[in-house]
Amino acid sequence: MGRCVYGGVYDPDHPSADADGLRSDVLDLVRELGVSVVRYPGGNFVSGYRWEDGVGPREGRPVTLDTAWSSIERNTFGLNEFMTWAKRARVEPMMAVNLGTRGVEDACNLLEYANFGKGTRYSDLRISHGVREPHGIRLWCLGNEMDGPWQIGQKTATQYGQLAAETAKAMRRIDPELELVACGSSNERMPTFGSWEAEVLDHAYEYVDYISLHAYFEQTPTNRAQFLASAHTMDTFIEGVVATCDHIGAKKRSRRKLKLSFDEWNLWYESRFAGQDNLDWAEAPRLIEDEYTTEDAVVVGSLLMSLLRHADRIGVACLAQLVNVIAPIRTEPDADAWRQTIFHPFALTARHARGEVLRVEPAGPAAEGAEDLGAPAVDVTATRDPETGEIAVFAVNRDEARSGKLELKVRSTAPLRVVEHVLMGGADLLETNSRQKPDRVTPRPSTRHELVGERLTAELPPVSWSMIRLAPAEGA
């Protein structure tokens, strides 16, 4: 979509581009961000995509129409280029198949091309394209947002559930070790939400490993308190899908517990978007390149906390998207890539939320203006790395006027010390990063904490996200 690939990860004319046209400055930031899995070719785009158009000699690839986003697609970047990029970015690929305009046969052909060794039509085609070893892609999405009226090839729940089940069965005949993701409802505001998941899983429960969730959040002039409580909305959304999955599992007397794939989530100022029906045909157009504020970074940090809190059931989560399009990384053709504000809470969480997620039950008043949601003013979660003994505490203060006081009892087999306390927010909430000032907004250190024995206290400024790292004391 837009400039995520062309002009984003792939730009042969940029000074940082390597021999394959991949921007090394973007690769460096992707690795710094801590991304571990990338979904490709994504979203609405996949429902009209012919994967064959993006493989083989570039000079022989057709120029096609991307009807999802009214874009001209030159197909100079396809499956094999993506896999080259994924290896250099050190990420696991999550491949999506087209179940909008295509179906079982084409999904199996793509799988054969990508994963089968040699000696068959599509595996030998891959080899003829210069890729001798199979890609070995394990994680696959069975379509995208198939209940959406905007989706090319929209399906009813029954149609899609049957198609997903048959596609999954056929793909597992080729490679039984796959992990497969069925489409959940496009978002929780859809009239099909809940009933869609139940009907789809009634057909596909035993054949898939995950069901997907998508959610985007936006601040409007009248919903600031609700916006700051977005993570609480995400909690409720996740728990509703879990309940539906477990209902169908119980109904089928299945011993399996489905995982969730939250494979699209982010902040998106959709009210600023002209809409798909108002786009002019263009090549790699500038689409929804939202510029994120400090306040947005606070909310993204809290959304990451929600995902951590549900790590027992969420097996995959993908911030949508990676570069330029509602993204943590921005580029221009004549500048170095830079970090948006939301880059920082993601990178810190990816780096330090390791090991086990601890059960934390915060108690305190609800956030003012979000009482109807029951969202606490101060929210917190924590992780513990069993290898190092390090504990990472993540906290958000949603209150718009008052500082919050965090009090935790931290039990450990060895004495602990605070090794780092950083925060975002608390001031300058509308500041952004730009090509001219790429580091205007970064995490800043805080000393407003105290650890006495097992009791940790910290002051959290209004509208702020914090990370406090604890490690075994020296000599402990």
For CA atoms 104, 85, 342, 449, give the dihedral sign: positive
Amino acid at 471: A
Closest CA to 395 of 241, 231, 276, 237: 231
Say how far apart CA 115 and CA 83 lie, in whole Å. Answer: 12
At 456 the pLDDT is 94
Residue 91: other Cβ atoms inside 10 A: 18
Q: Which residues are catalytic?
A: 145, 264
At 374 the pLDDT is 83
At 475 the pLDDT is 59
At 369 the pLDDT is 78
Say how far apart CA 261 and CA 41 lie, in whole Å. Answer: 16
Instruction: Decide: 141 and 263 in contact? Cβ < 8 Å.
Output: yes
Say how far apart CA 326 and CA 290 lie, in whole Å. Answer: 5
The C-alpha angle with vertex 9 and arms to 5 and 11, in degrees rounded to 5, equals 85
β-sheet with 210-217: strand ranges across = 37-40, 92-97, 139-142, 179-182, 210-217, 259-267, 314-319
Amino acid at 88: R
What tokens does 323 get? 């570069």
Closest CA to 171 of 113, 117, 104: 104
For 24-352, which CATH superfamily applies?
Glycosidases (3.20.20.80)
At 476 the pLDDT is 54
What tokens does 184 get? 């959940």
Sequence spans of domains, the chain: 24-352, 358-472
Query: pTM for the full model?
Result: 0.96
The C-alpha R_g of the chain, in whole angstroms, comes to 23
β-sheet with 455-460: strand ranges across = 404-409, 455-460, 449-452
Instruction: Decide: 209 and 166 in contact? Cβ < 8 Å.
Output: no
At 276 the pLDDT is 81
Average pLDDT of the chain, as a whole number: 95
Q: Express each pLDDT in 342-382 by its tens digit.
A: 999 999 999 999 999 999 988 888 888 777 778 899 999 99
What tokens does 467 get? 């990370």
Burial class (CB within 10 angstroms; exposed 0-12, middle 13-18, buried 19+) of 173: exposed
H helices of 252-282, in order, are none
Q: Hey, is 24 helix, strand or coil? A: helix
User: Which residues of the chain, if any, have pLDDT below 50?
Assistant: none
Say how far apart CA 33 and CA 338 lie, in whole Å. Answer: 12
Burial class (CB within 10 angstroms; exposed 0-12, middle 13-18, buried 19+) of 88: middle
Q: Hey, is 156 helix, strand or coil? A: coil
Bridge-based pairing of strands 64-66 and 71-73 is antiparallel
End-to-end Cα, the chain, rounded Å: 51
CATH of domain 358-472: 2.60.40.1180
For CA atoms 388, 259, 329, 304, give the dihedral sign: negative
Say how far apart CA 70 and CA 265 lie, in whole Å. Answer: 23
